[in-house]
Structure 1
Amino acid sequence: MIRAVDPIRQMAPYALADLGGPDTVSLAQNESAFPASPAAVAAGQAALADLTLYPDPDWPEMRAAIADVHGLDPARVLCGAGSMELIGCLIRAFAGPGDQVLGTQYGYAFVASATAQAQAQYVAAPEDDLTVSVDAILATVTPKTRIVFVCNPGNPTGTLIPNGEILRLRAALPADLLLVVDQAYAEFADNDNDPAEIFALADRGDTVITRTFSKAYGLAGARAGWGYFPAGIAEELRKLLNPNNISTASQAAATAAMHDQEHMRDVVTRTATIRDRFAQDCRDLGLSVPESHTNFVLVRFADAEMARKADAALRAHDLMMRGMGGYSLSECLRATVCEKTVMDRCLAVLKEVTS
């Protein structure tokens, strides 16, 4: 029998979303409720006319668009097949056997998987009422900690801490410890937190910020993410990135999407309106829903049994939310914000379950 090496055999597989059957409406993966920019779709389609060449490994137009919109140095923008590729490569580059990667209690689960791949140890600092606690993170740092990973806004909680807390965290951490701020949902919170304040942390040489086109830009299928890096960290990361990691069509679509900020902001506004209405409607049913700064809401039931009952009822109506047992939140379901008609269907089912 051919056997994988021991560290891989001991790993648990990354938990993929259950998407149900062919007629199921998925609210499980935090995809956009609305289509991508027409300009992005047109650019991607045009790029399909010539697929004989490999994609440009330097993503010149894509990184220039990102830098232009956010006021960044394009040389320090790196692009990945979703921000997941960048996160995985960061952990492999800067942590290994005997090291610790520090996340938070309800932080992005992929970080733990990527840490196991690097044969490092994943440690989670407690959160305070489903919200990142800087004091708890600082109290959990040890001499073995090499990377601190903060997801802000949080996934799966949707909660947000102000930029001032991120700045306080960075100032209190040792200078030789890498801070990664994952902002996959930042476009939904940029009106609350000035993004320039966080991007400026990369100038210190010890902080990386990651973002994605999968959420607010509606390009989850394109697998396009990006990050802002100190020059020295970017140099090391390039050694691990697939040199042709983003297809020509995806680069073209992402570039056009970044230039169409008006469309992205409209999607964010429309999504937030549906999200906040659905969240309040759930609260009116007696359910607990923390304020969300993302394109999803975390719905908390009285107990795990009630959450399972709601999940079964939703599935019976061809609706699929994401169970949160893997985050030790078995009393919760996470609901991606979809068009209002879908959310109304979900609400009707929840009303039956809770009545």
Structure 2
Amino acid sequence: MIKPVPHVGAMGAYALADLGGVETISLAQNESAFPASPAAIAAGQAAMSDLPLYPDPEWPDLRAAIAETHGLEPDLILCGAGSMELIGCLIRAYAGPGDRVLGTDYGYAFVSSAAAQVQADYVKAHEVDLTVSVDDILATVAPETRIVFVCNPGNPTGTLIPNAEIIRLREALPDDVMLVVDQAYAEFSDAGYDPAEIFALVSRGDTVVMRTLSKAYGLAGARVGWGYFPAEIAGEVRKLLNPNNVSIPSQAAAAAAVRDQAHMKDVVAKTAIIRDRFAEECRAIGLQVPQSHTNFVLLRFASTEQAQAADQALRSENLLMRGMGGYGLSDCLRATICAEEIMDRARDILKGVLT
């Protein structure tokens, strides 16, 4: 029998969401409740005629669109097949056996998998009230720590810490520790927190900022993420990226989507209205729901058993939320915001379980 290398054989596969059956409506994937920009769809369709060609490995138009929108240097932008590819390559470039990658209690779970792939130790700092704690991160840093990952806004909590706290963390970390700020849901909080403050940290040479087009831009199926990197770090990560990683239609759709800021902001605003109403209604029936700055809400039940009962009741009506047992939150379900009528159905089912 042919065996894998020991550390891969000992790993578990990355846990994806249970999508249920063909009749199931999923509230488990944090996908957009609304379609992508019509301009993005048209651009992606038009680019289909170029499918006999390989994608441009420099992503020129997409880089330009991102740089124009955010006031960034295009040469410091790397694009990936979702931010997962960029995160995996970054960890492979800067961590290995004996090193530590530091996250938080409820940070993005893929970081742990990526650390295991290179035999680095993944360590979690404590969160306070389901919210990242800079003091607890700093208290957990050790001489072996190479990278610190902060998901802000958080997933699966939806909570947010101010930019000032991210800046305080960066200033207090050792110079030889890289800070990665994962902002997959940042478009849902950009209006209240100046994104330029976080992008500016990249000029220090020790900080990376990650974003994605899967959420607010509605392009999860296109698999497009991007990051803003110091030049030296970008050069090392680039060695590990698939050189043709983002398809021609995906590049075209993503560039058009980024340029259509009006559509994206409209999606964010409409999502927030449905989210906040659903969250308030869930609080009214007895659930704990932290304020969310994303396109989902975390629902905390009185017990694990009650959460499981709610999960079964939803499934019986072909609705599926994401169980949070893998995060140590077995008394919670995470609900992606969908169309209003779907959220109303979910609320009524939950009310029936609780009453």
TM-score by length of 1: 1.00
- Percent identity over the alignment is 72
**1:12 Cα shift?**
1.3
Q: Distance in 1 between the 2:186 and 2:313 partners?
A: 32
Question: Equivalent residues in 2 for 1:37-76 (5 A)?
Answer: 37-76=37-76
Amino acid paired to 1:304: T
**Alignment correspondent of 2:175:** 175
Residue aligning to 1:301: 301
Measure, in 1, the Cα distance between the counterparts of 2:137 and 2:192: 23
Instruction: Please show how residues 309-348 of structure 1 align to structure 2 within 5 Å.
Output: 309-348=309-348
- The residue type equivalent to 1:249 in the other structure is P
The AA in structure 1 aligned to 2:48 is: L
Question: Residue 181 of structure 2: SS of its match in structure 1?
Answer: strand
SS across alignment from 1:49: helix
Aligned residue in 2 for 1:290: 290
1:255 paired residue number: 255
Pairwise mapping of residues 146-295 of structure 1 onto structure 2 (< 5 A)?
A: 146-295=146-295
How far residue 278 of structure 1 moved from its aligned partner, in angstroms, is 0.2
Inter-partner Cα distance in structure 2 for 1:343 and 1:109: 26
Separation of aligned partners in 2, 1:92 and 1:15? 20
- 3-state SS of paired residue (2:274): helix
Unaligned runs of 5+ in 2: none
| 1:144 and 2:155 correspond | no
Q: Does 1:127 align with 2:127?
A: yes
Give the Cα separation in 2 of the matches to 1:322 and 1:2.
36
User: Residue 50 of structure 1: CA displacement?
Assistant: 2.0
- Residue type at the aligned position of 1:25: I
CA-atom RMSD, angstroms? 0.4
Distance 1:50 1:224 in 2: 18
Q: Using the alignment, how far apart are the partners of 1:308 and 1:115 within structure 2?
A: 31
In 2, Cα distance between the equivalents of 1:215 and 1:322? 16
* Distance across 2 between alignment mates of 1:50 and 1:170: 43
Cα separation, 1, equivalents of 2:264 and 2:272: 12
Task: Name structure 1 gaps, 5 residues minimum.
Answer: none
Question: Could you tell me how far 1:226 is from its partner in structure 2?
Answer: 0.2
Structure 1 residue 43 displacement after superposition:
0.2
What TM-score, normalized to structure 2? 1.00
- Given residue 216 of structure 1, which amino acid in structure 2 is its aligned partner? A
| Runs of 4+ with deviation above 4 angstroms | none
Distance 2:3 2:249 in 1: 37
